[in-house]
Amino acid sequence: MTTGPSSSRAYANRRRIMDIALTELLQDPDASMDRIARAAGVVRRTVYGHFPNREALVTALTDSATADVAAAFDSGTDPELPADLALARATVAVWQVADRYRLLIALARRSVTDEGIRARLEPVRRAAAQLIARGLREGCFHTDLPPLALSHLHEHTLFGITQAVNYGALPAREAGAAAVAAVLATVGVGAERAAELACVVTGVGAEG
């Protein structure tokens, strides 16, 4: 079955509504469907044609966010790189996505639930566990915790950092480097090496 111009147009409209909805919801988590329709320059019926209710819209945004997180993690896990550098790159790539969506998390927890979010992030946890296992084999990481347990810990570490930024406990500019340092610490990377890698992948703390 082929897709014609009308289906392509419908997809483009849906994507545009989602992008605008994300912007509106990040500005005001209580933004109504009416407000989102006005911001998108369409009638309310058009928005409801794609999303039957606000919960369905938030769920679609959550699906998009978790897909972006998975792609970001994969972008950093180059098998040619040392595992500690690959984990640092993957962590900062995930943080950059998470930072964009961090104010959506509270909404997602209401509409999708924590269990639903965890289920969507399962592929990222598996990929993280594989990378951690490689680091243990290479001798980059030093920990007695199993890789899958560490991948859960890393997930919660990133959620915690998003909360710290949301509540003003951590400046957003420093959060990427903090995420890298925290994740590397859990796998036994020394503080000096962790700080070096955080600087390499984020530029925070670099001279000049």
Residue 1 has pLDDT above 60, yes or no: no
- The model's pLDDT over 102-145, given as tens digits with 9 standing for 90+, comes to 878 878 888 888 889 889 999 999 999 999 999 999 999 999 99
Residue 75 DSSP code: H
Q: What is the pLDDT of residues 140-177, one digit of tens each?
A: 999 999 999 999 999 999 989 988 998 999 998 999 99
Number of C-alpha atoms within 13 angstroms, CB side, residue 11? 6
What pLDDT sits at residue 6?
64
Q: Read off the tokens for 143.
A: 């920990």
> Alpha carbon of 91 to those of 62, 130, 144, 180, 187: distances in Å?
19, 14, 21, 6, 13
Amino acid at the residue 67: A
What pTM value is reported for the model? 0.84
Helix axis angle, 83-101 to 191-202, nearest 10° = 60
